[in-house]
Amino acid sequence: MKDSTRTRTSREAILDATDRLLARYGYKKMTIEDLANEVGIGKGSVYLHFSSKEEIALSHIDRIIERLKTRLVGISNESGDSVTKLRRMMIDRVMYRFESVQHYTQSLNELLARLRAKLLDRRRRYFEEEAKIFARVIEEGKKSGEFECKDPMETARSIIDATNALLPYSLSVHELGERSEVENKITRIADLLLLGIVSRKQ
Amino acid sequence: MKDSTRTRTSREAILDATDRLLARYGYKKMTIEDLANEVGIGKGSVYLHFSSKEEIALSHIDRIIERLKTRLVGISNESGDSVTKLRRMMIDRVMYRFESVQHYTQSLNELLARLRAKLLDRRRRYFEEEAKIFARVIEEGKKSGEFECKDPMETARSIIDATNALLPYSLSVHELGERSEVENKITRIADLLLLGIVSRKQ
């Protein structure tokens, strides 16, 4: 195994362990030592990859977003009409995040409260990256005559803003348990937003 | 002064003092004693109205929402077309909250992190109450032929959901300082949502 591969593998293993331990202990109780034990490496090896528990938790969230972006790019590259793809992408960006934290909804509140300030700054970047993927599909639908809008990137940003209140960050523990309620809400918003951009000439 | 009037007055005075002290000290440092001193009453008098500092902070937020609802009802009762009223209401519900916390944006983060769980539960009620006011205007616009939608209350709820990510709760300290950025974002979302419900027969 190459060094770079090994480095990537243990970094991934630490983040996998984080995902399990957030469910088992919660953020506050989880220690670097617990993580090292769970992976089967020394504490020092954890510090080779991450400087603090906070950085590990934030990297764990980064990884969820990276995986989501891969899914969104996948949908955007499929064949088919732009309306259907954009609708699926809006619903997927909410539901994928929802599923990703389902096994630790009880401790999520504590994690998000503790990381609030840093996470809010990070979210700006996440949202801009997602908006770029959405903008490509809107541009494509504009060319095909399916959509009507002036600036695809601005419209993409508005769509991101308009669906952000349904991300786990803004949901209570109760709402995080209500998959169908969240899915209904995002579906209704998606359909309302689509009505706002589909071409009226069709 | 009647007893009930006096009770209301000192309750209001405590909440006014809370607003000033959140700016001066922040939530964590602010004590019940500071509040009593600021109002010019005894600590015991504060406890006649509120059981804890947490309850005071939540009541302070409740009061912002009560005032906002009065404004929204005011707009909804004005003469004029429903499209303009609905647009103003969407922008106002975001900007009024923004203005309400402008003098303590630095300490808001700490306040919201500490009250996160309780506040999220409370928000469900706030949003439902606001949706009812929005639904009346949508119903009115439906009757006048301005809007097309199946269920005004469902549409109102989606509008609330779609504008919620711009409330102070979800903004970083940096974004809380950028009035024009938040105003641009909510205006774009409002216009996109309106496109989704205005009648296409006009």
The complex's ipTM works out to: 0.86
Task: Tell me phi and psi for residue A81, to 5 degrees.
Answer: -75, 155
Q: What is the mean pLDDT of residues B90-106?
A: 93
Please determine, for residue B84, whether its predicted confidence score (pLDDT) is greater than 80.
yes
CB-CB neighbors (< 8 A) of B161 in chain A: 165-166, 185, 188-189
Give percent above pLDDT 70 in chain A: 95
R_g of chain B computed on alpha carbons: 19
Q: Give me the residue from B113, B174, B189 closest to A161, CB to CB.
A: B189
Please determine, for residue B193, whether its predicted confidence score (pLDDT) is greater than 80.
yes
Q: What is the mean pLDDT of residues A173-192?
A: 92
Distance from CA of B3 to the nearest CA of A (A): 39
Contacts of A71 by beta carbon, 8 Å cutoff, 6+ apart: A92, A96
Distance from CA of A190 to the nearest CA of B (A): 9
A185 in contact with chain B, both atoms CB, cutoff 8 A:
yes
Please determine, for residue B117, whether its predicted confidence score (pLDDT) is greater than 90.
no
Q: Give me the residue from A159, A170, A200 closest to B164, CB to CB.
A: A170
Predicted local confidence at residue A175, as pLDDT = 86
Restricting to A residues 113-142, those with a Cβ less than 8 Å away from any Cβ of B are 113-114, 116-117, 120-121, 123-124
Q: What is the mean pLDDT of residues B168-195?
A: 91
Predicted local confidence at residue B108, as pLDDT = 87
Tell me which chain B residue has its CA closest to the CA of residue A196: B196
Helix locations, chain B, DSSP H: 3-24, 32-39, 43-49, 53-77, 82-100, 105-143, 152-163, 173-176, 179-197
The pLDDT mean for chain B works out to 92
Tell me which chain B residue has its CA closest to the CA of residue A166: B161
Across chain B, the runs of DSSP E, i.e. the strands, are none
Full-model pTM: 0.90
Predicted local confidence at residue A121, as pLDDT = 87
Q: Which part of chain A has CATH 1.10.357.10? A: 54-197
d(CA A55, CA A24): 19
Give percent above pLDDT 70 in chain B: 95
Predicted local confidence at residue A143, as pLDDT = 95
Task: Tell me phi and psi for residue B28, to 5 degrees.
Answer: -60, -45
R_g of chain A computed on alpha carbons: 19
Tokens of A5: 């591969």
CATH assignment of A54-197, among 3.30.1360.30, 1.10.357.10, 3.40.50.2300, 1.20.1080.10: 1.10.357.10
Please indicate whether, in this complex, the C-beta atoms of B193 and A196 are within 8 angstroms of each other.
yes
CA dihedral (B166, B168, B172, B178) positive or negative: positive
d(CA B5, CA B13): 12
Probe site for chain A from B161, B163, B182 (most A CB atoms < 10 A) = B161
Record: fold of B1-51: Arc Repressor Mutant, subunit A (1.10.10)
Restricting to A residues 76-115, those with a Cβ less than 8 Å away from any Cβ of B are 109, 112-114
Please determine, for residue B136, whether its predicted confidence score (pLDDT) is greater than 90.
yes
Which CATH class name applies to B53-197? Answer: mainly alpha
> Could you give the 3-state DSSP secondary structure of residue A147?
strand
Probe site for chain A from B188, B194, B200, B202 (most A CB atoms < 10 A) = B188
Tell me which chain B residue has its CA closest to the CA of residue A121: B172
Predicted local confidence at residue B175, as pLDDT = 85
Do the Cβ atoms of B54 and B111 come closer than 8 Å? no
CB-CB neighbors (< 8 A) of A174 in chain B: 121
Instruction: Mean pLDDT check: name the lowest of A3-12, A41-50, A91-100, A123-132.
Output: A3-12
Predicted local confidence at residue A4, as pLDDT = 65
Q: Which part of chain B has CATH 1.10.357.10? A: 53-197
Do the Cβ atoms of B15 and B63 come closer than 8 Å? yes
Give percent above pLDDT 90 in chain A: 77
Q: What is the mean pLDDT of residues B102-120?
A: 87
Q: Which part of chain A has CATH 1.10.10.60? A: 1-51
d(CA B73, CA B133): 6
Q: What is the mean pLDDT of residues B28-36?
A: 96
d(CA B193, CA B86): 10
Q: What is the mean pLDDT of residues A29-40?
A: 96
